[in-house]
Amino acid sequence: MEGSKIHCKFSRRTIFFQQWTTLVYIFAFVIRFTQSLDYSEALSKSLLYFEAQRSGRLPYNQRAIWRHHSGLTDGLDQGVDLVGGYYDAGDNVKFQLPMAFTITMLSWSVIEYGEDIAAAGEYKYALEAIKWGTDYFVKAHTHPHVLWVQVGEGDTDHYCWQRPEDMTTSRRAFKVDEDHPGSDVAGETAAALAAASIVFRRTNPHYSHLLLVHAEQLFEFGDKYRGKYDTSVGAAKGYYPSLSGYKDELLWAAMWLYKATDKSYYLKYALQNAQSFGGTTWAIAEFSWDVKYAGLQLLASKLPKQGKADNKILQEYRSKAEHYICACMNQNNKTNVHRTPGGLLYIRQWNNMQYVSNAAFLLMIYSDHLRETNQMARCERRPVGPEEIFTFAKSQVDYILGLNPRGMSYLVGYGPKYPRRVHHRGASVDSYKKRKGFISCTQGYDNWFGRKNPNPNMLFGALVGGPDNKDRFNDHRRNYMQTEACTYNTAPLVGLFAKLHGLDRGTNIEDSTLFSAK
C-alpha cells in the first residue's frame, strides 16, 4: 500500500511537472509570437489585397502584378460604362451591396485612424483603394433615380473556373430604378459615398463634393422609392440577399450623410425614424454587409448631446449599441456571441471571419469613445471599461494573425503559416502574364481547381473565412466556407492594423489620447 502511495505521489508530481512545462512552453510561445506581430506589415498587405480584386483597366502602378485588365466591356450591352469596381470574393461578379459596404468600412477606417495609416506610409494606398470603388459608383449612378447594382450572374459564373482576364460568362448588368426599387443598395452606396466624401474633403475637395452630390441623390431615391433590391434583381437573391430589409441602410445612410454634411435634415431623419425603422428597437449581435444596425447604433451613440427629446432617442441608440458590445464581451445575461475554444468570436459557419473583423473594429472604436469621454459600457452583468474592450478587440486581431491554437495566420501572406489554397479563381490559375493563352471555363476546373498544390499567385492581405467553431481549418479550394476571402472581410482590418501599429510605435497605453478617434 505504501508503495502505491509513493507511486501515486510520484505520478502526480510527474503529471504536474509535465503540465507546468507545457504551460510554460505555450506561454513562452505566446509572448514570443505576440512580440513578433508586425501590424505595419499586416496593414500593407491588407491594402495590397484590394489591388488583386480590381476589375477594369489596371493602372501603371498596379502592385498585384499577376493581375491584368478584365471586364473591359462591362455595361456595353446596356449602353453604359460599368468598367471598374471590385470583384467581391473568389469569383468574377461585381455585386454592388457588398462592394459599397467595403468602401464604407475602408472610409471609416481612414476617418478614425487616418493619422496612423499615414504614419505607416500607407495613406496613399488607402485612398486609392477607396477611390477605385467610388469612381465606379459614380459611373454606376447614371441618373438620380437609376443605379446599376450588379454585373455578371452568379449562377453562370460559378459554372466556370476562369481567371477574370479570360471571362466568357455572362456580363449582363442589372439596375434598380423607380419601377424596380432598391432602397438597401441605394442606401449603402449613399453611405459609402458620404463616408468617402469625408475622407477626400481635404486632399480633393472637388471630388469630395462630387461624391456628396451622388450620395444625397441616392439617399433621396432610396427613400422615395422604397423596396428591397433583391426583389427587383432576382440574380442577387441567391448570393447577397437583403435579409435585414432596407430600413437599416436608410438609417445608416442618413447618419453618414449627417456626418458628411452637418445638415439637420439627416439627423432628424435618423431620430424620427429610429423606432419605426428598428434603429432603437433591434438589439443585434452581428454587423455585416447585410445587417447595419450595430454600426448605425454605435455612430448615433457617439454624437454630441442634442435637445432633451433627441437625447432620449440617442440614449436608446446607445443602449442598443452597448447590447452589441456587451454581446461580444460575453456580458449580456442571455444573448452573447459564442466563442471557439481558442477565443474567436463565432457567429456562423460560412465566412465567420467577416463578423470577427467587423466586431473587432466596432469594439476598438467604442473603446476609443469610452476612453475619450471617461465612460463605461453598461452591460447587464457588469460595467465594462475601455481597456477591457480594447484588449478583447486586439485579441481578435491577434487570433487572425496567428495567435491561435493552430498557429495559423488567416491573413494570406502574413507569417510563416497561412492558407495556401484560397478559393479564388484568379489566384489559383497561372497568371495572365505567365500564361497568356486562353484558359476555358472547364480547363480551369480540370487543371487547377482540384490541384493539391498551393495557388501559384499570392493573394496578399486576403482574410479567408477562417476556422470552425472548434478552431479547425481545412486548407482546400473546395472548402469555400473556410478558404474564400471577401473584400468586406479585410476592409475593417485596415483601421485595426493601423491603430495597433500606432500603439507599437511607442504610444503610452495609459495616455487618454491613445483611444481617441483620429
DSSP string, 422-463: -S-HHHHS--TTT--S---HHHHIIIIIT--SPPSS--TT-B
What integer is the mean pLDDT of 243-267?
97
Question: Would you call 511 a catalytic residue per the annotation?
Answer: no
C-alpha cell, 344: 474567436
Check 91, 216, 248, 316 and give the catalytic one.
Answer: 91
Q: What average pLDDT does the chain have?
A: 91
| Integer-rounded Cα radius of gyration of the chain | 24
In angstroms, the CA 95 to CA 105 distance is 16
Question: Would you call 41 a catalytic residue per the annotation?
Answer: no
103 in Cβ contact with 134 (< 8 Å): yes
Question: H or E element: which one contains 284?
Answer: none
Question: Cβ of 506: how many Cβ atoms within 10 Å?
Answer: 6
Q: What is the pLDDT at residue 506? A: 54
Q: What is the pLDDT at residue 6? A: 27
Q: What is the pLDDT at residue 441? A: 85
pLDDT at 401 over 80: yes
Percentage of the chain with pLDDT > 70? 91
Give the pLDDT confidence of 410-427 residue by residue, as tens digits.
999 999 999 999 999 999
CA distances to 92, 144, 169, 276 from 480, rounded to whole Å, are 15, 38, 20, 38
502 in Cβ contact with 116 (< 8 Å): yes
Check 141, 214, 369, 423 and give the catalytic one.
Answer: 423
Percentage of the chain with pLDDT > 90? 83
339-377 burial, b at 16+ Cβ within 10 Å, e below that, comes to: ebeebbbbbeeebbbbbbbbbbbbbbbbbbbbbbeeeeb
Q: What is the pLDDT at residue 307? A: 73
Phi, then psi, of 338 in degrees rounded to 5: -65, 160
**HSE-up of 255 (CA within 13 Å, CB side)?**
28
Question: Would you call 423 a catalytic residue per the annotation?
Answer: yes
Give the pLDDT confidence of 29-42 residue by residue, as tens digits.
444 444 479 999 99
Give the pLDDT confidence of 97-119 residue by residue, as tens digits.
999 999 999 999 999 999 999 99
Q: What is the pLDDT at residue 30? A: 44
pTM metric for this prediction: 0.91
Q: Which of 35-39, 199-203, 235-239 has the lowest mean pLDDT?
A: 35-39
∠ Cα 163 84 49 (to 5°): 60
Query: Which amino acid would we find at residue 507?
Result: T
Question: Would you call 128 a catalytic residue per the annotation?
Answer: no
Check 69, 380, 475, 476 and give the catalytic one.
Answer: 475
pLDDT at 1 over 50: no
